Amino acid sequence: MSTETQLNQGTIQKVSQEYYIPIAVNAFLLDRKAQNLATGTLVFYQVKLSLFLAFCDTQVIKTLDELTPDSIRQYLFNLESSGHNAGGIHACFRTLRTFLYWWEREYELEGWRNPIRKVKAPKLAQEPLQPVSRDDFESILVTCEKHTWHGARDRAILLTLLDSGLRASELTALNLTDLESSTGTLEVRQGKGRKPRVTFVGSVTRKAIRQWLKYRGGETGALFTTREGERLTYWGLRQIVRRRAEQAGVVEPGLHDFRRAFCLAQLQAGVPETTIARLMGHTTTQLIARYAKQTGSDLRQLYYSPLDGDDF
């Protein structure tokens, strides 16, 4: 066998491996990891692409040149049939599009046409996102006895969530040194996209945090901990909210519902959208509009009749 033939076969083998979908996905995830993306972002990519890999297995699609626009549409349809909501399907589409565009740029293999270029993104209804209601929040807060270890901690956590606009992962990542108690400044060292920022809490929340610190102690480390002194996890935070909602007899709010309540409160107080975006860790005001999309009850509370008070 000539050297030229061996080189040609080696090139064919390399191309074949590059086209092989599991290898391509692993290469993409390695690239994302090398870019030092946040752990939550990496997990997001892994979870969404695992759904795509599972679909390819059922359809016996092994290489990217076997992937067609129709098979991508079938993938999206299967997601809907298996119970994924519109937001989840859209997230899967965005992830697949990011992966395929990356692969296209990375390898630039002649003759391959990116099939997702012919697939329209699924429509995503812009439903108003419900915040945690004031009544539900107050009912949940009542279950937190401020003079007990768990009560003081949970009260401080709930107030901080509503008062700061922090994401759940940002709250659990806080250290004691990230809080300036005299001003209520919270330093977010690694927000979404690893972007640092500051946000704030008011006097009520600062008082609750000081009460919690009487039980926690002044040791360095995580601001919010478990009874064993370990950093509170995302799932531990969800369990706290779930348990307190059950005790209060109200529907469990999502962790993101506190963020929208914070956003709406800032808007109603007249805070500029650019300032709200910075407090919440957004680079633009585009997402503020989604958080602030008002429901009928929101509009009714803010509505002012120009005719009331006049005698016609």
Contact yes or no for 236/226 (Cβ under 8 A): yes
83 and 141 co-located in one domain: no
Residue 305 lies in a domain: no
89 and 223 co-located in one domain: no
Contact yes or no for 155/213 (Cβ under 8 A): no
Amino acid at 18: E
100 and 138 co-located in one domain: no
Amino acid at 196: P
Residue-level pLDDT at 264: 86
87 and 112 co-located in one domain: yes
State whether the Cα torsion 77-80-86-90 is positive or negative.
Answer: negative
185 and 215 co-located in one domain: yes
pLDDT per 10-residue tile (average), the chain, 312 residues = 40 58 94 85 92 96 94 95 89 95 88 92 72 92 94 96 92 94 89 80 94 92 94 94 95 90 86 88 75 56 58 53
Residue 83 lies in a domain: yes
83 and 154 co-located in one domain: no
Contact yes or no for 159/184 (Cβ under 8 A): no
What is the pTM (predicted TM-score) of this model? 0.64
118, 142, 159: which is the final residue of a domain? 118
Residue 189 lies in a domain: yes
Number of domains in the chain: 2
275 and 157 co-located in one domain: yes
Q: Closest Cα to residue 28, out of 47, 51, 46, 14?
A: 46
79 and 147 co-located in one domain: no
Q: Which domain holds residue 177?
A: 134-300
188 and 289 co-located in one domain: yes
62, 89, 118: which is the final residue of a domain? 118
Residue-level pLDDT at 86: 86
98 and 148 co-located in one domain: no
Residue 129 lies in a domain: no
